[in-house]
């Protein structure tokens, strides 16, 4: 019996491998809009797709980021200034994309723009701190996607949303984890709604990768700002050692991040170019072997693991 199960598993894996190797024809005529192309995943993906011959429309937050990307790519790639937290900027980008794609519609939208700060214990943050991050990672992603849907439906195209393994487990405070949980929920509902229009929706779930969006010096500066504005009673409850250990843990985690960003961008490229893209792409061994199994375990096991890693406050209940 076990032999037959192994044979069936092998045949299924072979079939899946063959299916996922089938590419969409005519890629050189496909337009793909990518947000957050100044650096990190977005910058690398824009260069990667440009080298493959696609018509890349790169959304950059800054003029300097756009100029650097333009200088490193072919004349096919076009850049547009896009701030995903600004409705007027998004509307201008939609009109700009419409002019370029015409009646063909938009083949791909990669919602890559994101930030990881501010991240700190929840009690240390205010509503505006949460919203500053949510407006980029979630609200901006939603507005860009909804605004581009008419063009995507016309092109029967693809939506690729960059989430995170922190969209499965919430291991630290601040708006990052809630924003990624939101990306997962929005993507799932959008995938169902777009099915009959022929628009496919994929979620990218990277583990810990070094994208350069957090730097030790800047993290410490922001972290100290939150600590210093706390009431004296709250500071006494946590203690000086707490924030120092918390910051040390964050810096330690950043140093362990995977520098090979192409692992993520290769999955993005597959979601855009394969005839049969996956609904979810978990990227990195930490994601597949640690976070995904942990996300299915009882909360007691999850809590026992992470409370052991958390620093101990000066005053305990």
Please identify every residue annotated as catalytic: 176
Strand, helix or coil at 108?
strand
The C-alpha torsion from 293 through 298 and 301 to 302, rounded to 10°, is 70
Q: Six-digit token pair at 231? A: 């009431």
What size, in residues, is the chain? 317
Strand, helix or coil at 297?
coil
Strand, helix or coil at 207?
coil
CA distance 294 to 176: 19
DSSP 8-state assignment for residue 303: H
Q: Six-digit token pair at 35? A: 């947000």
Give the residue among 258, 277, 259, 276 at the shortest CA–CA distance from 267.
277
CA distance 186 to 144: 13
CA distance 228 to 251: 20
In DSSP terms, 108 is beta-bridged to: 32, 158
CA distance 107 to 27: 9
**For the sheet containing 55-60, what is the strand order?**
78-81, 55-60, 31-34, 108-111, 158-162, 200-206, 280-283
CA distance 109 to 272: 9
Give the position of tokens 């918390």: 246
CA distance 185 to 281: 15
DSSP 8-state assignment for residue 138: I
CA distance 85 to 93: 13
């Amino acid at each position: 019996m076990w032999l037959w199960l192994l044979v069936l598993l092998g045949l299924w894996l072979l079939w899946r491998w063959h299916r996922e190797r089938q590419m969409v024809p005519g890629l050189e005529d496909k337009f793909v809009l990518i947000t957050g192309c100044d650096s990190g995943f977005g910058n690398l993906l824009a260069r990667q797709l440009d080298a493959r011959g696609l018509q890349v429309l790169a959304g950059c937050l800054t003029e300097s980021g756009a100029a650097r990307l333009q200088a490193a790519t072919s004349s096919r790639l076009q850049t547009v200034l896009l701030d995903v937290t600004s409705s007027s900027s998004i509307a201008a980008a939609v009109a700009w994309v419409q002019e370029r794609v015409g009646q063909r519609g938009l083949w791909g939208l990669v919602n890559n723009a994101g930030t990881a700060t501010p991240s700190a214990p929840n009690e240390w943050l205010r509503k505006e701190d949460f919203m500053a991050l949510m407006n980029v990672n979630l609200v901006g992603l939603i507005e860009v996607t909804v605004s581009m849907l008419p063009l995507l439906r016309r092109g029967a195209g693809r939506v690729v949303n960059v989430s995170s393994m922190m969209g499965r487990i919430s291991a630290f405070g601040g708006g990052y984890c809630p924003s990624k949980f939101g990306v997962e929920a929005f993507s799932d509902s959008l995938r169902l709604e777009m099915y009959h229009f022929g628009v496919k929706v994929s979620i990218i779930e990277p583990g810990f990768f070094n994208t350069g969006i957090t730097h030790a010096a800047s993290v410490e500066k922001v972290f100290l700002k939150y600590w210093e504005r706390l009431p004296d009673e709250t500071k006494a409850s946590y203690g000086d050692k707490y924030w120092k250990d918390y910051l040390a843990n964050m810096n330690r985690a950043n140093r362990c991040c995977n520098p090979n960003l192409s692992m993520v961008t290769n999955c993005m490229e597959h979601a855009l170019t394969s005839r049969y893209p996956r609904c979810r792409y978990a990227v990195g061994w930490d994601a597949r072997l640690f976070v995904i199994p942990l996300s299915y375990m009882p909360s007691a096991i999850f809590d026992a693991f992470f409370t052991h890693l958390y620093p101990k406050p000066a005053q305990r209940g």
